[in-house]
Amino acid sequence: MTQLEILHNPRCSKSRQTLELLKQNGHDPVVIEYLKHPLSKQQITQIIEKLSIQHPRLMMRTKEAEFSELGLNHEDTSIDAFIEAMVSHPKLIERPIVITENKARIGRPPESVLEIL
């Protein structure tokens, strides 16, 4: 069985639902509480690749105050600035994200993570 990881915030209902869904489907993922243990630039870059998204903004919580406070809502913001913002402000990372060896999915809705299992 493929090793699973979940970027998890226990205070988030979608994150809790996704973790429970994984367990109901026979998986015991490694739980990464990314707010307590922030991710590195390399880890975030790898997740972006596994998500197969065109821009890091697609894995960010754009409605958080920090998003606009950091100027991330400007069109000329560099990709590197988005990644650095997630390193420095992990609260900006969308949650939950389920990660396998080769793929990742954001658990919104929670059932979407089943596509990569």
Catalytic choice (5, 12, 31, 77): 12
Q: Residue 12 catalytic?
A: yes
67 Cβ neighbours under 8 A, 6+ residues apart = 60, 61, 73, 85, 92
Query: How does DSSP assign 21-74, residue by residue?
Result: HHHHTT--PEEE-TTTSPPPHHHHHHHHHHHT-S-GGGGB-TTSHHHHHTTTTS
Radius of gyration of the chain (CA): 14
Catalytic residues: 12
